[in-house]
Structure 1
């Protein structure tokens, strides 16, 4: 059974829905194709769900999210995370893996010193 929660956003009653596996897959496809400006919105949220997931879970268009205050968006993102804990966990794990890969990449770029560097 799909988990659903009702909340208020921008003075309106909205429904936050649990995403299906297909919707999660489609969100990741959209996230990888999204324009740079959407990353700003995700960074402002500082939550383990993206603006794309918020749009799909609530039906609120991303353009409307851009016109909202970050404090309201953070509360909405928390609601989406609460209803979609598996999605939030998946995003956290992927971000941790990405950070690990970036750190490993940095260590590979460290210049060699000593006789073997020549």
Structure 2
């Protein structure tokens, strides 16, 4: 409870003590020489993990109300295929209405 009390007192203040992490690069294969040959591992302070877990549990109760129905990430009730179906239905609707449109597919990676 002391940790959560301290976190609450830091609200809007300096969170540098909580925001520290150690990042290590672990090679995926022998002779790794490119950045894509490494796997980053982040060692986050355990108190930050605890606070994040509690906040995520509390947020789970209201996340359905604050995320758009078009959004498929971050919701356990939706899957990756929901995005495809949403786009497919949008294309069908645009085609039926004969509305000119431009669709872009972006790859975050």
TM superposition score normalised by structure 2? 0.28
Name the structure with the higher helix share: 1
Larger radius of gyration: 2
TM superposition score normalised by structure 1? 0.27
Structure with the bigger RCO (C-alpha within 8 Å, sep 6+) is: 1
